[in-house]
Amino acid sequence: QVQLMESGGGSVQAGGSLRLSCAASGYTSVMGWFRQVPGKQREGVASILRYGTITYAESVKGRFTISRDNATNTLFLQMHSLKPEDTAMYYCAAGYYSSLDPRFYNYWGQGTQVTVSS
């Protein structure tokens, strides 16, 4: 059983930056960031294997950077040039297959809200 706890969300103006963190309680192979707005499906933002192989959603390429510290079991998402359409609840997840499809992830955090105002 892996427990995940996100932090770092908040409110920012368009063009600003935020850094999300996710602390994992144990070993994880694939980790990812997802986001969801009310009434819409959860969408993959970025995923990272334990030793490389990163995947980004097209909508965040060039603006977001996913990284991880395996020594501390911590996942990060650095977000730059934020847009109002990035507003969502952001979730950290751990899974078993490198994908942006949430069906391949079996452990989830509680989420942290990111709000970008225009």
Going residue by residue through the chain, which has 118 residues, state the pLDDT in tens, using 9 for 90 and above: 899 999 999 999 999 999 999 999 988 999 999 999 999 999 999 999 998 799 999 999 999 999 999 999 999 999 999 999 999 999 999 999 889 999 999 999 999 999 999 9
Report in angstroms the alpha-carbon separations of 62 from 7, 45, 99: 22, 12, 19
Tokens of 28: 């994880």
* Residues 19 and 77: beta-carbon distance below 8 Å: yes
Region label for 100, one of left (φ > 0), alpha (ψ between -120 and 50) or beta (otherwise): alpha
Q: Which amino acid is at 61?
A: K
